[in-house]
């Protein structure tokens, strides 16, 4: 599940004047948000715009009662605040997972302004310092290991002792449509960090196995990856092209003519910057929008997955556009819809990967189809 829940601080009458004030209140919206989350019964939940106070007082305790564990990272500006009241209102990203099916073996934090500051300081890249390091967006990553309960829905018995690693990440990329270059650089930084994390995790959590002789591309694709988030980028953007195609021209229009030449210098080959993940969007060509407000309706939230490892069985569609027209809903939030974003659900199976069995953390050999149902929805 991927869901931007719309934090209370941003849910104002100024922003959403078409919605009744009572329906904008957190006390009202939180019931609908939690209902959406629990109704999905997802094995893995990724959330954006979760306020720090709400994570600790509502999301974590209520989901813990349903058998979930979770991790959370607030946006970087929390570091600059002295008052607890201010810190509690800072939003961030969270990942929850069912304890009966997964255990967390590691987590990683990505703070884009910290990465940009280090990058800019080391190469005097003024655009990096002035445009990217001033934005406090973040991403969080969990490395999960499957438990026997993850294979309960498998059509065939899982091999005894089978245990696989899965990397899950959720991100909230900068919002401003006037700064597509910032979104691109943040996304490239995220992918670069994910490549490092996969390498580290695949080496650290393989029991009794020698280091594999894999090149960078093989190593990146040696571990299943689910990348969810609010990328604030449309399907025709450079961000989407880079993630889904694995490559992007350094002269792409979304760079807005900004000079990131120093940042790009060692990251491109003949004018093309690329990554080694093979990612596919679960919702490709399925829905018309994931964000629905009075003055904007479009797809900006995504569930990407590594299709070399994960098999997509289905996604949950949104309400039909006719439903919005029939109910005279000109924008969300609305008394019927608690956020301006819609929750996305996808169902995957996680087969045992025979190519590099040691990297899965399993000693099992051979092409065993051990299905791990990450979310149950109807056929695609």
Let me know: does 272 contact 315? Beta carbons within 8 Å.
Answer: no
Within 13 A of 224's CA, how many CA atoms are on the CB side? 26
Annotated active-site residue in 230, 254, 301, 340: 230
Within 13 A of 45's CA, how many CA atoms are on the CB side? 31
For residues 147 and 362, what is the distance between their CA atoms, to the nearest angstrom? 12
DSSP codes joined into one string, 266-312: TTEETTEEE-S--EEETTTTT-S-SEE-SS-EE--EEEEEETTT-EE
Per the annotation, the verdict on 181 as an active-site residue is no
Let me know: does 184 contact 255? Beta carbons within 8 Å.
Answer: yes
Reply yes or no: is the peptide bond before residue 333 cis, omega within 30 of 0. yes
Give the distance, in angstroms, between the CA of residue 333 and the centroid of all CA atoms in the same chain.
Answer: 22
Instruction: Return all residues near 77 (Cβ < 8 A) that are at least 6 apart.
Output: 90, 136
**CA-based angle 92:176:319, to the nearest 5?**
70
Q: What is the radius of gyration, based on Cα positions, of the chain?
A: 21
- Look at residues 99, 18, 110, 44 and name the one whose alpha carbon lies nearest to residue 340: 18
Which sequence positions are flagged as catalytic? 230
């Amino acid at each position: 599940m991927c869901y931007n829940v719309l934090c209370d601080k941003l849910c104002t009458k100024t922003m959403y004047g078409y919605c009744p004030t009572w329906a904008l209140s957190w006390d009202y919206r939180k019931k609908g948000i939690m209902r959406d989350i629990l109704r999905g019964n997802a094995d893995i939940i990724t959330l954006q715009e979760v306020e720090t106070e709400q994570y600790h007082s509502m999301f974590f305790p209520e989901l813990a009662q349903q058998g979930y564990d979770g991790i959370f990272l607030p946006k970087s500006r929390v570091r600059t605040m002295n008052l607890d009241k201010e810190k509690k209102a800072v939003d961030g990203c969270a990942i929850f997972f069912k304890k009966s099916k997964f255990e967390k073996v590691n987590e990683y934090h990505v703070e884009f302004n910290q990465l940009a500051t280090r990058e800019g300081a080391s190469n005097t890249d003024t655009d990096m310092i002035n445009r990217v390091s001033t934005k406090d967006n973040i991403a969080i990553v969990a490395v999960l290991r499957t438990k026997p309960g993850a294979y309960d829905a498998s059509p065939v018995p899982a091999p005894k002792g089978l245990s696989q690693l899965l990397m899950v990440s959720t991100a909230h990329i900068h919002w401003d449509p006037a700064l597509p270059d910032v979104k691109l650089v943040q996304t490239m930084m995220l992918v670069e960090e994910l490549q490092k994390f996969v390498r580290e995790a695949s080496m650290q959590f393989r029991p009794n196995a020698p280091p594999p002789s894999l090149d960078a591309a093989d190593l990146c694709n040696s571990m299943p990856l689910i990348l969810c988030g609010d990328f604030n980028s449309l399907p025709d953007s450079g961000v989407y092209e880079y993630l889904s195609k694995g490559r992007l021209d350094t002269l792409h229009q979304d760079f807005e003519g900004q000079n990131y030449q120093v940042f790009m210098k060692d990251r491109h080959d003949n004018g093309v910057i690329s990554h080694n993940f093979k990612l596919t969007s679960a919702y490709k060509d399925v829905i018309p929008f994931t964000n629905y407000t009075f003055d904007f309706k479009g797809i900006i939230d995504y569930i990407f997955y590594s299709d070399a490892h994960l098999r997509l069985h289905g996604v949950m569609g949104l309400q039909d556009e006719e439903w919005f027209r029939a109910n005279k809903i000109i924008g969300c939030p609305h008394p019927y819809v608690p956020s301006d974003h819609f929750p996305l659900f996808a169902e995957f199976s996680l087969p045992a990967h025979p190519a590099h069995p040691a990297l899965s953390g399993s000693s099992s050999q051979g092409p065993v189809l051990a299905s791990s149902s990450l979310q149950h929805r109807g056929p695609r």
